[in-house]
Amino acid sequence: MSGVQNRAPLLFLTVLIIATAGLVYELLAGAIATTVLGNSLRQYSITIGVYLFAMGVGAYLSKFIEQRIAQRFVDIELAAALIGGTQGLLLYLAYGRADAFGVLLYGTLTIIGILVGLEIPLLMRILRDDLDFKDLVAKVLTFDYLGALIGSLVFSIVLVEMLMIPLERIGILFGLLNCAVGLMSTWVLREHIYPRGRLQLRLKGLLVGGILVLALVYSTRLRIVGEQGLYPERIVHVEQSPYQRIVLTSDSSRLSLYIDGNLQFTSMDEYRYHESLVHPAMADAPAGARVLVLGGGDGLAARELLRYPDLGSVTLVDLDPAITDLARTLPGLRTLNGDALADARIEVINDDAMVWLDEARPGAIAPFDVVIVDFPDPNNFSLGKLYTRRFYRLVREVMKEDASLVVQSTSPLIARKSFWCVERTIASVGLHTVPYHVSVPSFGEWGYVMARRTHFEPPARLRADVTDGLRFLDDAMLPGLFTFPRDMAPVEVELNRLNHQVLVHYYSAEWAQVN
Amino acid sequence: MRLSRREMLSAILGTPLASALAACEREPETAAIAGGFVEPSMEVGHRLRDAAPRDGDFEGAPVTRTEVAIVGGGPAGLSAAWRLARAGRDFRLLELEPQCGGTSRSERDGGLRHPWGAHYITTPLSDGGPLVELLDELGALSREDARGRLGGQEELLVREPKVRLFYRGYWYPGLYPRVGASDDDLTQLARFERRMAGFAALRDGRGRRAFAIPVDASSDDPELTALDRISATEWLKREGLTSTRLHWLLDHACRDDYGLTLEHTSAWALIFYHASRMDPARDNDADVLTWPEGNGALVAHLEGAAGGRIDTGQLVTTVVPEGDGVRVDAIDWRSGKARRVRARRAIMAAPRFIARRLVRAGLPAGSADFQYGAWLVANLHLRGRPRSRGHEDAWDNVLHDSPSLGYVSATHQRGRSFGPSVWTYFMPMVDGDARAGRKRLLEPSWQDYRDAVIADLARAHAELEPQVSRVDVCRWGHGMIQPRPGFIWGPSRWAAAQPVGPIHFAHSDLSGIALFEEAFHHGVRAADEVRAALKEGPT
Ligand SMILES: Cc1cc2nc3c(=O)[nH]c(=O)nc-3n(C[C@H](O)[C@H](O)[C@H](O)COP(=O)(O)OP(=O)(O)OC[C@H]3O[C@@H](n4cnc5c(N)ncnc54)[C@H](O)[C@@H]3O)c2cc1C
């Protein structure tokens, strides 16, 4: 009996693992294609078709390999390990570049398919003389298909659903497994490979393994590089806080902040947004005003407040310490907010604004002259709750009798129902409202709602001592902000309540139309 | 004997789930997670059963005199006390546990408030009656919608997202597994909902709702009560409702509210669950009111109203008519001392399986028809929130293929979406034979329960165990009365609610359905019976 015959079980294990890994590469490509290009049915059918076709091409090409078949076989295995293993990562690197992504996806998929397609015919030819052919064909194909079954089950149920391993890591892990099998083959098939060839193959194997281990270690960092593709400017800071994903980008002319992929501001025109948020509400504020800012951890609203020489104090409540820390430490952001959060008049509290207002009752918080509400748009329920009747009732309780409230209220043009839903909901808790809007190029037409406990007229002029420093607002343009053209005029809406957050539904429907 | 992990999981979670878990899961590392059994004084209860004290033990014991003695400080007993207090009557309430509330008990001190059993009630559909009075005292209701209709205060109405379902590796909004549902599934669901809306709008000849809360307000029209004699499964078959998804949904409802599977639930009870909560005028389900500590908030308010006339830690052993009044014997089990209460009237607000042992007077037959489901409740204390794939965290988080009902999050209603929380995990023992379920409940060790609960939830939450600091487990042997076919409209329930001499009865058992509203109804009813009797009777 030859040595190879003795090691037959190991050979079949090799077949099994090749097949499992091959299927995982294919599924991975399908899954990533779906996340980037959408339309899962089409992505899966195309990736599967392309892959199977490439395997056929590989099987055909196998007939052109005539010498040192075993050595070539191991070479091919290692190549499949390298390309298959890093494919997921490569695809993430091409994230956001739709043209390059398609080429890379189908390119790597075809190469991997060809490599995997070469493997089985070659292996059968290697073993033709060692094992009974009838038996060989039966067993090799059995293990091949069995491997496919295992691959599909393990991938979807165990790795993705139960262990929730990130996709790019799954690829690398299977690459490593594939590489280990390649190395094992240099021993199992040693009778078929010259000693020098064996040494060469083992060195190559170690090299491939090393690359894959490095890829595994750096996969998270590399993915961020890939994430870059989603943003128009260079990423200068990425942070995953327990609450949200924070990305800051910049180029020579601007600095931009994204939370969970949504633009929060860009330095080119954020002054338009923040001046309009703060100064109308501050127009009648008394000297020594106590101001409450809910949200606004970037310090930009605070910067506007600090223009008032007679400002009393500012209490700023933002959920995420990561944001307020950035506002205090990141040089670009500090320049932009004028280091506002370092000012002694500003107290920063990191808490959920709603819980803070609720738990501080009754009467534990001294009431404020001005309340500025600057939350991200209501695109999920934990943000949506900050736009409910319950929330505005809590806000009302900390407003002095003649206090002004202002709420950033998304775009009345793109999300008309959402905007008026916010306005109606504020009005429903017994506040008098005055809605207004401005144009912020990077956002579009943007809306705010001012409110007070008693009836009031829109402010006719801003505080004279701050107007000089402003870049956007002036007294002449004020009246125009308060009229709404027809395409932004009020519409019939329901109120937003904690137990039925219509706003989240309005908002996602309205923005889905433009995105 | 220590079971293997596989055997343990399959004993608690059932074999299919256990095999799936054992086959493809790394074992969660749970050894560092603290906790233990936290439960009512089962021991004391057993002492009562095994060595009932004799009358001799009470000779010469100190005697308390009062107008009305109330036995049991669950919602029923406390509601009776509340009603009597508001009517200016004198009473004394004796409760076995150190804390009132029964199966509506909760944890209120320190840390995060959370329930041990009951966690919500339904906003009443009509504006009036004692329940509305109680909820108004709590400031829980509002009438500020455009038509001045009754609703709950916004902060008490469950915050959206209310419920999500873990189904095939993903969390989906809502409870019904819509993904992959066929047209036929959806048609059947719609047909079922229409059928329920029909029942909700149905009135009998006397103008009563066909299905109303409390059960006693429902129509007793024979055509409707006949539905109580068949099982829910049988009714669905007759209706041609065969969709597996619909059956899953309804089975979940029965397990959730009654601790029974569809085949052991009365068809009347299944319809009651849906139709009694629907408001035909508004064409939707009444909203659910909840507090972070669940119905513990109601319990606390009722306790406050009793104004110090509650004695806890009192094991009542005998209730017996004596002279023109009634005598109640009890042991203060912390001191071991016996005591007596003499009253003109007594209200038995302990569950029927206990009442039948305590009351020494001719009780009607049929006590054995009261069957109880065993429940496991585990409170998981979390340092932070584990990840989940799919829909946002909800209040009620249901796992599709689990014998448990999933968990309710104590911080949801507060609006805290991050940081520490407590999850209350519920699992009814739905065995066909109630006694077998009770036995099964008591077998596993606390460690077994801890590991099984975590294994079950870890399917839906990667990296769960590092977030869990403790798992406290409560086993309710007689957790809930079960509306099995024939019970609600059978003779025993009605007979058990009738006073026997000076002894009146109040407990949710007497409805056949374990709801706060039912306990409240019987408490108020018994208090009103007593008030009427005291007015008539000799002074
Ligand atoms: C897991 C679980 C979840 C539930 N969820 C809900 C829910 O969400 N909403 C809802 O409405 N209902 C729910 N229920 C049902 C709800 O708890 C009951 O409807 C309600 O608590 C019943 O009140 P009760 O007063 O009739 O009885 P119990 O709560 O059973 O109170 C009886 C009291 O009598 C005392 N007692 C017993 N024996 C003696 C004795 N010998 N001497 C003195 N005192 C004694 C007991 O200690 C207890 O305090 C749930 C029940 C369980 C088990």
- Its sign, for the CA torsion A161, A166, A169, A175, is positive
Query: Within an 8 Å CB–CB cutoff, is residue B24 touching chain A?
Result: yes
Chain B residues close to A35, C-beta within 8 Å: none
DSSP state of B312: -
Residue labelled with tokens 């002095």: A400
Q: Which residues of A62-88 are buried (b: 16+ CB within 10 A; e: fewer)?
A: beebeeebbbbbbbbbbbbbbbbbbbb
SS3 labels along A329-368:
HCHHHHHHCCCHHHCCCEEEECCCHHHHHHHCCCCCCCCE
Å from CA of B94 to ligand 1 middle: 15
- Which backbone phi and psi does B423 adopt, to 5 degrees? -105, 130
The DSSP result for A121-162, as a single string, is HHHHHHHTTTS-HHHHHHHHHHHHHHHHHHHHHIIIIIIIII
Q: Could you list the pLDDT tens digit for every one of the 539 residues in chain B?
A: 456 777 777 888 887 777 777 665 567 778 889 999 987 666 666 665 666 666 677 888 899 999 999 999 999 999 999 999 999 999 999 999 999 999 998 887 667 788 888 999 999 988 889 999 999 999 999 887 667 778 899 989 999 899 999 998 889 999 999 888 899 999 999 999 999 999 999 999 999 999 999 999 999 999 999 999 999 999 999 999 999 999 999 999 999 999 999 999 999 999 999 999 988 777 666 788 998 889 999 999 999 999 999 999 999 999 999 999 999 999 988 888 899 999 999 999 999 999 999 999 989 999 899 999 999 999 999 999 988 888 899 999 999 999 999 999 999 988 888 889 999 999 999 988 989 999 999 999 999 999 999 999 998 997 898 899 999 999 999 999 999 999 999 999 999 999 999 999 999 999 999 999 999 999 999 999 999 999 876 54
Per-residue pLDDT, A35: 61
- Residue B51: predicted pLDDT: 60
Note the pTM of the prediction, 2 decimals: 0.78
Residue with tokens 């929380």: B421
How many whole angstroms separate alpha carbon A468 and alpha carbon A464? 8
Q: Are B113 and B296 in contact (CB under 8 A)?
A: yes
3-state secondary structure (DSSP) of residue B201: helix
Neighbours of B67 (CB within 10 A): 17
Task: Please name the residues in contact with A80: beta carbons below 8 A apart, sequence gap of 6 or more.
Answer: A18, A21, A22, A25, A112, A115, A116, A119, A178
Q: Which residues pair with A294 in a beta bridge?
A: A317, A373
Tokens of A311: 């400002």
Tokens coding A99:
């043209």
Are the beta carbons of A355 and B416 separated by less than 8 Å? yes
Q: Which residues of chain A have pLDDT under 50?
A: 1
If you count them, how many residues does chain A have?
A: 515
Residue B481 beta carbon below 6 angstroms from any ligand 1 atom = no
- A251 an active-site residue? no
Q: Please check whether the two domains, A2-226 and A264-512, share a CATH topology.
A: no
Cβ–Cβ under 8 Å, residues A22 and A48: no
User: Which residues of A are less than 8 Å from B392 in CB distance?
Assistant: 380-382
Which candidate from B155, B160, B170 shows the least CB-CB separation from A500?
B160
Q: Residue A121's closest CA among A63, A57, A78?
A: A63
Does B417 sit within 8 Å of A352, measured CB to CB?
yes
State residue A94's pLDDT score. 74
Tokens matching residue A444: 């579009």
Residue A490 has φ and ψ, to the nearest 5°, of -55, 145
A427 close to B (CB below 8 A): no
From the list A99, A374, A474, A475, the catalytic residue is A374
Q: Whose CA is nearest to atom 14 of ligand 1?
A: B118
CATH fold for domain A264-512: Rossmann fold (3.40.50)
Give the minimum alpha-carbon distance from A510 to chain B in angstroms, rounded to a whole number.
19
Nearest Cα to Cα of residue A83 among A171, A177, A187: A171
B373 Cβ inside 6 Å of ligand 1: no
Find out whether the beta carbon of B259 lies less than 6 Å from any atom of ligand 1.
no
Domain positions in chain A: 2-226, 264-512
User: Is any ligand 1 atom within 6 A of the Cβ of residue B359?
Assistant: no
Phi, psi of B380 (to 5 degrees): -100, 120
- Give the closest-approach CA distance of B419 to chain A in angstroms: 9
Q: What's the rounded Cα separation, in Å, for the pair B211 and B209? A: 5
- Interface confidence, given as ipTM, is 0.81
Q: For tokens 């194997």, what's the residue?
A: A205
Q: Check if B506 has its Cβ closer than 6 Å to any atom of ligand 1.
A: no
- Cα distance between residue A474 and residue A464, in whole Å: 10
Q: Cβ of B180 under 8 Å from any chain A Cβ?
A: no
Q: Is B310 helix (H, G, I), strand (E, B) or coil?
A: strand
Task: Report the pLDDT value the prediction gives residue A1, as an integer from 0 to 100.
Answer: 43
User: Which fold does the domain A2-226 belong to in CATH?
Assistant: Growth Hormone; Chain: A; (1.20.1250)
Q: Are A236 and A331 in contact (CB under 8 A)?
A: no
pLDDT given at position A2? 56
Domains of chain B, CATH where assigned:
5-30+372-481 (3.90.660), 43-106+294-368+486-536 (3.50.50.60), 121-156 (no CATH), 185-278 (1.10.405)
* HSE-up of residue A60 (Cα within 13 Å, Cβ side): 6
Using the Cβ of A389 and the Cβ atoms of chain B, whether some distance falls under 8 Å is answered with yes
Size of interface A-B (CB pairs under 8 A): 70
C-alpha closest to that of A264 among A355, A379, A345: A379
- Each residue of A181-204: pLDDT tens digit? 999 999 888 888 888 888 999 999
Per residue in A286-338, pLDDT (tens digit) is: 999 999 999 999 999 999 999 999 999 999 999 999 999 999 999 889 999 99
The answer to whether B27 faces chain A, any CB pair under 8 Å, is: no
What pLDDT score does A241 carry?
A: 79
Contact A118, A248 (CB under 8 A): no
- Nearest in space to B172 (alpha carbons), one of B163, B181, B180: B163
CB distance B418–A164 less than 8 Å?
A: no
